[in-house]
Structure 1
Amino acid sequence: MNLVPGPDQVVAAAGNVAHKILYGGLADLRPMPRTLIDEGELREVYHYRPAASAQEQGDPVLLVTPLAAPALCYDLRRGCSVVEHLVEAGRPTYLVEYGEVSFRDRGLGIEHWVEEVVPAAVEAVSQHAGGRPVHLVGWSLGGIFALLATADRADLPIASVTVLGSPIDVSQVPLVAPLRPLLNLADGRLLTPFYRVIGGAPKPLVTWAFQLASFQKLVTRPLAVATRLDDADFLAQLEAVDRFTSKMSAYPGRSFGQLYHRFVRSNVLSTGRYELAHRTVDLAALTVPVLVVAGATDGIAPVNAVKAVVPLLSGSPEVRFEIVPGGHLGLLTGRAARGSTWQVLDEWVGQWSRTSAPRGPATSPRSGRTQEEIPPSTDTIGSNPSRRYGSAASRNLAP
């Protein structure tokens, strides 16, 4: 609202406040309808039901959830839901989530998701979609899971990978820099007894860490709300984000230990290699197209921390990098994502999808498509002059 609000703003603000009091909120939090198609240990794979107004067509998209964050990240609220956007566009849309992590899961490490959960989900989705190759889309740690699983399993039917806000070089994260001397105390074992005793990182700690990354917004929030009481969409987004944050879950103990020692303290992903139980996964072995997206104001995964993966993907036939508006969650499902991230994702998946049904032996065993089946792109990413955050200037893959 203006410093001196007009009559229409006063009326809109009063209506929003009344609606919130009477109905409990302004956000439409109805989840998109979905059906369980596969499950296993900390693995639930869902297919979102097609919209009545659009027939499913093309290769499927599999949304990969990060640890600790709820699957609401992809279905935040109606109007700001990646799932809703994809379904209404007629794209076969699937999601893998992990259920509630408990103390009995404390022995599960990152390899559980890289070697078992993501590969099993990809195979289930491909089978459910009639043998089509799958476009993996992962946000935050979900993007890292997608990259490692794809690099590790060349036999999986994967058409492309999209990583959104996934920090590869943790040394580029300002939030971590002040903590580095503390992390290296006692050879990094300062927190080890703590997370081993309690079985991981508890939910309150995870929630607090996520909120800390948006500390400035947290401090200025009361003023922002007071000055935008007439903006129903803004208030609805706050409600949806609050619900998302309240549903954070715990990290399994071993996974948290690996994130702490390998990802944060040792920064091993910045080398492009990650040690699993019996072998090393090299991101250079990944042979499918990769789209990398960073949020312009992301405090958890700043632009340089995300962009660091680009030169590591030397085996990929095409790597594209985009900077979009928004913070860590906002780049995925903020109000500005409708006209930025989602458009980029649509173009990318469309470019690397078949328009025809599977044709047996003529298709590639790796991705299930031939080059002739890939439709030409009339608006390549980074060339659209109307997009505020194009990537034409950041296309160089050299370090």
Structure 2
Amino acid sequence: MTMIPTPDQLLKATGNLSAMVSGSGLADTRPVPRMLIDSGPKRSVYRLAPGREPVDTDPVLLVPPLAVPAFCFDLRRGCSLAEHLVDGGRRAYQLDYGSIAFSDRRLGIEHWIDEVLPRAISAVSADAGGRPVHLVSWCLGGIFSLLTAADQPKLPIASITAVASPIDFTAIPLVAPARPLIDVANGHAFTALYRLLGGAPAPLVRRVFQLTGIDKYVTKPLAILTHLDDTEYLAQIEAVDRFTANMAAYPGRTFGQMYHRFFRSNDLADGVLDLEGRLISLAEVRVPVLVVAGAADTIAPQLAVHRIVDVLTGAADVRFEVAPGGHLGVLTGRRSRETTWKLIDAFVDELMAAPPPPKKAAVAKKTMAKKASVAKKTPAKKTAAAKKTTAPRKRTPPRG
């Protein structure tokens, strides 16, 4: 709004202020219609826009991180990735973990990558007629999606899009000031605290999220005052406030594993996660991956996110893009429709247009037949020598 408001600006500002004061609000937060197709412990899977005719396309499953409301993908009408996918004619699904209670404190990362995601992916594929599933994930949801794909390669996953998913925690400036506290007594004091609390309580998660944008939080009243005539701007602030107010807790064991393996040991930067002796290597991810970082993201800076590209050495294709916005803004900001969402659309459309890879069974039969033929024609000693001199197969490096 200009220093000397025009009559039109004053009229819009008056209307916006009235809506804000009356409590009617400016943001249209009606969720995209959905129908439950699968459920289990900390797992609800919804088909979006169930009343529409099924479309002949691969399904897309939206995978949220822990501790945030699943409507991060459906923030408000006009800034809803869920709405965008449905309006674009896609067969879209949403995963929701529900609320986290103190009784869930024993749930570890294993629960999400062994049970929640695999069962959700299988349910979506079955509901879509057996088609492979494109995972579109945000933050920790992207990390869990990659770990699941690495650990269970037979799942019907067509691709993974990881938006604002950091794996190199030394590249996160916000973590640096806390590192001396993390290292005190090998972290025993902090471990005792989160075990006592049963994890990271929702109020703490909410406060940390607000502090990551402390400059915007402090200047928020002034920003609202100077944008009283901008309905879209005010609606977005209102929607983000609603999102922040609905933050959830982290289960104790999951939070402890993240604390020790992500923050203290920085395991993921090397691409291998050690879950009490069980090693999961991101090099085992075989499906195409799109990695998107936010240009102004302080929670998941570009360097912390880009490290994914370096460790996905076995993926069919890896792409890295930078889009405008902070941690939430890059996913569902006012510019996302023309940036992040277009990147996702192009990535999924390209994969769907590509010819399907040959079936493994057919390839295996041809290989075995060829080996048998060679074995008949080649003396045993020569075959053994050939095995010794054969050079290892080179992997094609992923695209940055």
Fold shared per TM-score above 0.5: yes
CA distance in 2, matches of 1:79, 1:95: 18
Q: CA deviation at 1:21?
A: 3.0
Q: Tell me, what secondary structure is at the counterpart of 1:154?
A: coil
Corresponding residue for residue 385 of structure 1: none
Inter-CA distance 287–358: structure 2 relative to 1 (3 Å threshold): closer
Q: CA deviation at 1:277?
A: 4.8
CA distance in 1, matches of 2:360, 2:145: 26
Provide Cα deviations, 1:136-170, integer angstroms capped at 9, x if missing partner.
11100000000000011110011000000011101
Corresponding residue for residue 207 of structure 1: 206
CA distance in 2, matches of 1:354, 1:60: 14
Matched, 1:233 2:193: no
Corresponding residue for residue 389 of structure 2: none
Matched, 1:348 2:347: yes
Structure 2 portions without partners, runs of 5+? 365-396
Q: Is the 8 A contact 2:108 2:253 kept in 1?
A: yes
Aligned residues: 368
Structure 1 stretch displaced more, 267-276 or 124-133: 267-276
Q: Is the 8 A contact 2:113 2:144 kept in 1?
A: yes
Structure 1 portions without partners, runs of 5+? 366-395
Q: Tell me, what secondary structure is at the counterpart of 1:174?
A: coil
CA distance in 2, matches of 1:364, 1:157: 19
Amino acid at match of 1:45: V
Q: CA deviation at 1:24?
A: 2.1
Inter-CA distance 345–119: structure 2 relative to 1 (3 Å threshold): same
Inter-CA distance 242–363: structure 2 relative to 1 (3 Å threshold): farther
CA distance in 2, matches of 1:39, 1:300: 31
- Map 1:1-399 → 2, pairs under 5 A: 1-22=1-22, 24-50=24-50, 56-277=55-276, 279-353=278-352
Identity fraction in percent:
55
Structure 1 stretch displaced more, 246-255 or 270-279: 270-279
Q: Is the 8 A contact 1:207 1:246 kept in 2?
A: yes
Name the Cα RMSD after superposition.
2.3
Provide Cα deviations, 1:202-238, integer angstroms capped at 9, x if missing partner.
1110001111111111011111111000000110111
Q: CA deviation at 1:279?
A: 2.6
* Structure with the greater alpha carbon radius of gyration: 2
Q: CA deviation at 1:183?
A: 0.6
Q: Tell me, what secondary structure is at the counterpart of 2:72?
A: helix
TM-score by structure 1 length? 0.88
Amino acid at match of 2:150: A
Q: Is the 8 A contact 2:80 2:332 kept in 1?
A: yes
Inter-CA distance 128–355: structure 2 relative to 1 (3 Å threshold): farther
CA distance in 1, matches of 2:183, 2:276: 24
TM-score by structure 2 length? 0.88
CA distance in 2, matches of 1:352, 1:328: 26
Structure 1 stretch displaced more, 352-361 or 326-335: 352-361
Q: Tell me, what secondary structure is at the counterpart of 2:292?
A: strand
Q: Where in structure 1 do 4 or more consecutive aligned residues deviate above 4 Å?
A: 354-365, 396-399
Q: Is the 8 A contact 1:59 1:354 kept in 2?
A: no
Inter-CA distance 236–135: structure 2 relative to 1 (3 Å threshold): same
Corresponding residue for residue 387 of structure 1: none
